[in-house]
Structure 1
Amino acid sequence: MKIAVSGKGGVGKTTFVAALARVFAENGKKVIAIDADPVANLAVTLGMKNVSEIVPISQMKDLIKERTGASDEYGKFFSLNPKVTDLPEKLSLEHEGIRLLVLGAIKRGGGGCACPESAFLRALLSHLIVQRDEVVIVDMEAGVEHLGRATVRAVNALIVIVEPGSKSIQTAFQVKKLADDIGLKSIYAVGNKVASDEHKSLIKNGLNNIPVLGFISYNDKILESDIVGRAVFAENDQLLSEVRQIKENLVQSTKGT
């Protein structure tokens, strides 16, 4: 399974990615979780320690320069297909059966030429999605910027996390349009922070033709885990139970893709 997860900021993408990674790992699957959100919180959500010491891959300038052949001079050539096959083992952190890679942010606009960084991260992500045999789950910002046209064919599902509310639902349609533009058709939604049947109906009716894989209830233990600094799924049977059902629905929905 190769899964990308997107959605508006604050809807609970990272919580879902961490719990889904845990559910796959507890079934004996090898899992690589990729933090591709500029606001990188997946490590702490998985319960990893010393997360402030993690250096995002996009900030590894010497490595990127070495692999892409880029120079400091503007306009110079660099490789669009750098060697990355050895990096998942070298750059990932392992925690309770889950490997984590933190990609980091890409500078845009006036921040200088980010082309070598972008090419490097795209090559690494493409390798992970297309060539590796682990379950790969990508925590993305509200878009599909990290997914090139070459990688989308290997993605089994793009899951948009939606909370009750028109802004979150509108973001889901924006993400769907971006995904459609690059040919990614297997798009699903998961409702989060759901506190009533009315919330479920609001999400289902609002999403119209985007299939909903399931719902995650509003859960005080999720906030508590952040306060005390433990994994979001630790001591949270309700969250794991709901995500297990979502995972089963996902597997059934993507058979043959």
Structure 2
Amino acid sequence: MRIGVAGKGGVGKTTIAATMARLFARRGYRVNALDGDPNPNFAAALGLPEAEIERLTRVPREGVMEERMGPGDEASLHLTRPFDEVVETFGAVGPDGVRMLTMTGLLGAGQGCICGQHGMVRGFVDELGALRPEDVTILDTEASIEHLSRGTVKSVETLLVVVEPYFRALQTLGRTVPLARELGIPNVYTVANKVRSTWDEATIRDYSNRLGAEVLAFIPYDDAAADADRHNQALIDAAPDSPTVAAIEEMVGTLIGSAPRRLPDRPTVAAASTI
């Protein structure tokens, strides 16, 4: 299962992505966490120690992926090294065995765009889907809609668009859903975060319905999430019994039950891969 997490900045998408990753892993799934944000925070939200985070290196295209011609002279990117070797070289294995990789990053002040990195992320996610179909790969995207215009998330099977019950967040949802459909992403869901009232629920549900996007989860406003961030802790470690974690746990169960590619009910985490 390949899941992309999108949304306006500050809506809580990285916290949700990280908590999902840990919860999938605790259910026995092999989980790959890919940070597609050039301002990366996924590793911290997962709960990696600071020393591990400092050792993370952006995955380069050179020596990791190569372009090959397919049917109809269509080029695509493919891994040239075993995935576990890529993790060992550039990433880290975090809490609950989640494999963490940083996929994008700025080249420096005034050094231009990172357009090529977007294409590499798309190819990387596509390869994981082909070579490791029983893995759960979660791509945390940057806080914009550029990853949609560049097709970065084109290879995901499910896109979760995280929103708050505020107009600007809903505006972003309204721009994201049509672009995701243009890319041909099979499943596009709304995830309502920081919900305080039935009015909030109704507002988000009504807006989503008008877009034809199902609301997958209503996650309540929870001071524990802000407290965890304030202390640089993973939410699932700081407040494992919080309402937010409970709501995300329920969402993970829903995703497993409706997976585009059926996930095994009680998977066996594979030994080191040779792909």
Q: TM-score range by the shorter chain?
A: 0.7 to 0.9
CA distance in 1, matches of 2:199, 2:24: 30
Contact 2:121 2:152 in 1 (8 A): no
| Structure 1 pair 14–117 and aligned structure 2 pair: CA distance change class (3 A) | closer
1:199-241 per-residue CA deviation (whole Å, 9 max, x = no partner) reads 1111101112210011111111111111222211122312221
2:151/2:183 contact within 8 Å kept: yes
Contact 2:6/2:162 (CA < 8 Å) preserved in 1?
Answer: yes
Matches within 5 A, 1:224-239: 224-234=227-237, 235-237=239-241, 238-239=243-244
Change (3 A) 1:206 1:229: same
Question: 1:1-257 residue pairs with structure 2 within 5 A?
Answer: 1-50=1-50, 53-57=54-58, 64-66=61-63, 81=77, 83-86=79-82, 87-96=86-95, 97-105=97-105, 111-112=111-112, 114=114, 117-132=117-132, 133-141=134-142, 142-143=144-145, 145=147, 152=154, 155-208=156-209, 209-234=212-237, 235-237=239-241, 238-255=243-260
Shift, 1:11, TM fit = 0.3
Q: Which amino acid aligns with 1:90?
A: T
User: CA distance change for structure 1 residues 9 and 68 in 2, over 3 Å: closer, same or farther?
Assistant: same
Rounded Cα–Cα distance in structure 1 between residues aligned with 2:77 and 2:165: 41
1:17 offset after TM fit, Å? 0.4
- What 5-or-longer segments of structure 2 have no aligned partner? 67-74, 263-275
For each residue in 1:25-83, what CA deviation from the matched residue of structure 2 results, as whole angstroms up to 9, or x when unmatched? 1111111111111221111111111265144416xxxx5445579xxxxxxxxx96364
Give the secondary-structure state (helix, strand or coil) at the position aligned to 2:160: strand
Query: How far did residue 122 of structure 1 move?
Result: 3.5
TM-score w.r.t. length of structure 2:
0.76
RMSD (Å), alpha carbons: 3.0
Distance in 2 separating the partners of 1:115 and 1:224: 35
Note if contact 1:82-1:120 (Cα within 8 Å) is conserved in structure 2: no
C-alpha displacement at 1:256, in angstroms?
5.8
Q: Which amino acid aligns with 1:236?
A: P
Distance 1:2 1:255 in 2: 9
- Structure 1 residues 175 and 232: alpha-carbon distance in aligned structure 2, compared to 1, 3 A threshold: same
Gaps of 5+ in 1: 70-78
What is the Cα deviation at residue 104 of structure 1?
2.1
**Partners of 1:64 and 1:255 in 2: how far apart?**
29
- Change in CA separation of 1:114 and 1:247 when aligned onto 2, cut-off 3 Å: closer
Identify which range, 239-248 or 82-91, moves more after superposition: 82-91
Q: Which amino acid aligns with 1:244?
A: E
Residue 4 of structure 1, CA deviation: 0.7
Paired residues of 1:80 and 1:120 also in contact (CA < 8 A): no
AA aligned opposite 2:175 = Q
TM-score using structure 1 length: 0.81
Paired residue type of 1:143:
I
Question: How many corresponding residue pairs?
Answer: 242
Q: Measure the CA separation in 1 of the matches of 2:102 and 2:152.
A: 21
Identity %: 30
Please give the secondary structure, in 2, of the residue aligned with 1:81. Answer: strand
